[in-house]
Amino acid sequence: MARRLASLLALLLLVVPALHAAEPNRPVPNVDLARYAGTWYEQAHLPMFFQRDCARDTTATYTLRKDGRVDVLNRCTTKNGAIRQAQGVARRVGDSTSKLEVRFAPAWLSALPFVWGDYWVIGLDPDYRWAMVGAPGRDYLWILARDRVLDRATRDRLVERARAMGYPVDKLVFTPQG
C-alpha cells in the first residue's frame, strides 16, 4: 500500500506542474532557417552546467549548411574575462523547422542519441527580432534577440509567456551585454 501511494505521489509531482501551464509548451509552426541564421544575443537563460562560467556577452551564431544542418557557435565572456566558445551542429527533427536537435559532442559520437539535445523555437517575432528557445521538459530556456539589448517591455512579456508555458522563470539568469 505504501509503495502504491509513493508511486501515485511521484506521478502527481510530474503531472501537476504541467496542468498549471496556461499556454502549451510546443514549437512554433514554422521557422525560416535562412532568416533565423546569423547572430543572436542572449537576454536570459535557465541555469545549466555548460554555461556556469559565462558572465556576459553571450551569443549564438547559426550558419546554414548545404546538407540542411545548421552550424552553431556559442560564445561568452567568462567571469575572469576570457572568451569561451563551443561549436556544434543542429539538425531538424523530421520535417519540422522549429523542432531541432543540437550536438556539441564530437561528430564521431553522432550515432548516440543522448549527445543530441532538444532545441525548440517556442516563440518567434514575425520580423525575427527575438526568439524563445525551450525544450519539451521545460529544463532549457533561452530568450534571444538580434540587438544586444531587448527592450524591457518585450523581455518582460516573453518571461511572462514562458511562465504561462510552465517554465521555472524565477530561476532565469539575465545576461549582461556590453
Number of Cα atoms under 13 Å in the Cβ half of residue 10: 6
Cα–Cα distance between 42 and 155 in angstroms, integer?
11
Specify the pLDDT at position 20.
53
Specify the pLDDT at position 13.
44
The three three-digit cell numbers of residue 140, written as one number: 532549457
CATH 3.40.50.620, applies to 2-174: no
Specify the pLDDT at position 172.
98
Residues in the chain: 178
Domain boundaries, the chain: 2-174
Cα–Cα distance between 88 and 102 in angstroms, integer?
7
Specify the pLDDT at position 3.
52
Residue 112: exposed, middle, or buried by beta-carbon count in 10 A (0-12, 13-18, 19+)? exposed
Specify the pLDDT at position 93.
97
Specify the pLDDT at position 99.
98
Q: Residues 167, 141, 129, 43: what is their CA dihedral angle, to the nearest 10 degrees?
A: 100
* pTM confidence score: 0.85
Mean pLDDT by 10 residues, the chain (178 residues): 45 46 92 98 94 96 97 97 97 96 88 88 98 97 98 98 98 96
